[in-house]
Amino acid sequence: MGKVYYHLISARPAGRDLRNLLDGMGIHVVHSQNYEHLGYFAVKYAGRPVIHDVSDFYSIFPRNQEQPSRRILGPLDTVKRWRRLWLEKYVLERADGLTFNSPVMLRLAQERYSITGETLVIPNAVPEEDMPYSFLPRLSAQDGSTHTVFVGHINGPKLNRLVEIANRGVHVHLYTLQKNAFRQTLVETCTSHSYLHWHDALPYKSLLKELTQYDFGLVLWYEEAKEPFFQASLPSKLFDYLAAGLPVVVGPFQALTEFVRQHQCGFVLYDDNELPDKLREVYTVGDRRKYTMEYYIRPLVALYRRLASG
């Protein structure tokens, strides 16, 4: 009965509660984040302008990264998928404003949906207060080797891609999130490979400071990464590296390629045979403030004000 109530009955009273909460707090504009059902509730029930953040919209997000070849859904999952697609269409076509984490993601959304609200590109950049302003000694200055780093979620395919880099005599340091079931594999792989180094998790600001001792940040994904999401996304790790002063090594994915070429902040790795020569070249990230949220946020604040006064 609880599930019946949740799926078939609860939306209207929940929407009424949301509206009452916003009225009581004197809210002028709602900004919903990423999940399409949150945007749907805001657009349908809030009674004021809604900006919806589209970081990883559902219709392009990979459903099974651990086993990319398996894409068959059961009947219940199929129904859930179609509902999420409907919710996504509802909010993207009816929100007063939309933010996307890359220009490529915005273009994909415009191809799929009849967007009428204002649109902005606001990537997952670094809060300026978390940027490191002092730097650790580079490990490469101590041993003459190249030290790269990978931050973020990891699974089997991603680890295999990093092993390929380590097999070429390039140190790869990992600060990762992973499923508990994968942790043992990760630790065993790093323990058995002299160029793979797994580190304990750190608070975000401490992590950014830790990154300053490395030479390059890695955003490579893996061979089976074929979904549109990988072409469209600018992951937060990209900005973590750059804010810490590290040039980046990225895979040949459209949004990453466009970004690196625009900012001249690293290189695109098309073939691992290119790695030794490209690592010897000199790169600069330029003004690190270009990778902070404060750099991107002003148009969003202006949009809040226009919608609130409108």
In the chain, the domains with their CATH numbers are: 11-125+294-309 (3.40.50.2000), 128-290 (3.40.50.2000)
**Which region among 72-76, 265-269, 278-282 has the lowest average model confidence (pLDDT)?**
72-76
Kindly tell me if the per-residue pLDDT of 278 is higher than 90. yes
Average pLDDT over every residue of 21-45: 94
Distance set, CA 1 to CA 4, 9, 75, 77 (Å): 5, 11, 21, 20
- In this prediction, residues 96-119 reach a mean pLDDT of 96
Confidence of residue 9 (pLDDT cuts 50, 70, 90): low
| Strand ranges across the sheet with 118-121 | 30-33, 50-54, 97-100, 118-121
Check residue 4 and give its pLDDT: 62
Confidence grade of residue 3 (pLDDT, cut at 50, 70, 90): low
pLDDT tens readout for residues 169-224: 999 999 999 999 999 999 999 999 999 999 988 999 999 999 999 999 999 988 88
* Residue 206 pLDDT: 97
Is residue 217 within 8 Å of 246, Cβ to Cβ?
yes
